[in-house]
Amino acid sequence: MAVFGLDIDPKINRASITWIMTSPRVQANGIGTAMMSYANKMAKDSNMKVIDIAASHLSAPFFEKFGAKTIKEITDGWGLDMHRVDMELLL
């Protein structure tokens, strides 16, 4: 099982991944890559210029594989020892 949420804001030509989750049983099978491809297509089809991503230090490397760049890091931003990493993916 895998799901994601994408919010599209035409007023500012930006989209944001509001969440993305995969079951441990299906990780490393290409499903995350397929979701990112679909999110990119949805954003591009809606004329968005950027996808904003609020990740953790654990998930940030996944988004980096698709070209997302870190713009801000907040130590313990999601709770103790769970650091927030704000990222942008230019389309």
pLDDT at 56: 94
Contact 91, 40 (CB under 8 A): yes
Spatial distance between the Cα atoms of 76 and 8, rounded to a whole number of angstroms: 27
Q: Which domain holds residue 50?
A: 2-90
pLDDT at 25: 86
pLDDT at 87: 97
Residue 12 sits at φ, ψ, to 5 deg, of -120, 10
How many domains does one find in the chain?
1
Q: What is the pLDDT along the chain (91 residues), one digit of tens a residue?
A: 788 899 999 999 999 998 888 888 877 888 989 999 999 999 999 999 999 999 999 999 999 999 999 999 999 999 999 999 999 999 9
Contact 77, 83 (CB under 8 A): yes
Listed in order, strand segments (DSSP E) in the chain are 2-9, 14-22, 50-56, 69-74, 84-90
Q: What is the CATH number of the domain that holds 81?
A: 3.40.630.30
Comparing CA positions, the residue from 9, 22, 83 lying closest to residue 51 is 9
